[in-house]
Amino acid sequence: MKAICALIVDDSSVMRKIVARSLRQAGVEFTEVLEAANGLEALAVLQTKVPDLILSDINMPGMDGLEFVRQVQGLNSLSGVPIVMITTEGGESHVVEALSHGAKGYIRKPFTPEQIKEHVLPLVRST
């Protein structure tokens, strides 16, 4: 697998580090890890860099993950970038909505490197 650039969007800096570490433990190599604390910050990052993969929390202040996915899907320059939602949501409605707006998958917190391998690596390999 080629080394990738990933954008991790979560309002918790600790969770962003956990996501990056879990990706590494799952075998992902990075050229760069970009971070944003919410959808608005992530959109600003995306104006300067197009990542190979986006992992986004759903519940964040400012702009939540669902609105972020809607916004990203409207940008032609990001049409091939897979988005994986990371959520603590118990209900399926948020996940279904994210998938209907273009997210390619989701994982639930807490997650393991094995779940990353199962749900995220296939998306990275297809880029």
pLDDT of residue 48: 94
Mean pLDDT of 45-70: 94
Residue 121, pLDDT above cutoff 80:
yes
pLDDT of residue 97: 87
Residue 110, pLDDT above cutoff 60:
yes
CATH number, residue 26: 3.40.50.2300
pLDDT of residue 104: 93
Distance CA 4, CA 82 (A): 12
Distance CA 57, CA 78 (A): 18
pLDDT of residue 96: 84
Which structural domain, as residue segments, surrounds residue 21? 4-125
Q: Is 116 exposed, middle or buried (0-12, 13-18, 19+ CB in 10 A)?
A: buried
Per-residue pLDDT band at 37 (split at 50, 70, 90):
very high
Give the chain's domain count: 1
CA angle 108, 114, 116 (to 5 degrees): 55
pLDDT of residue 125: 65
- Average pLDDT value over all residues in the chain: 90
Residue 27, pLDDT above cutoff 80:
yes
- Whether the pTM exceeds 0.85: the reply is yes
Q: Which residues are CB-contacts of 103 (< 8 A; sequence separation ≥ 6)?
A: 69, 83, 84, 85
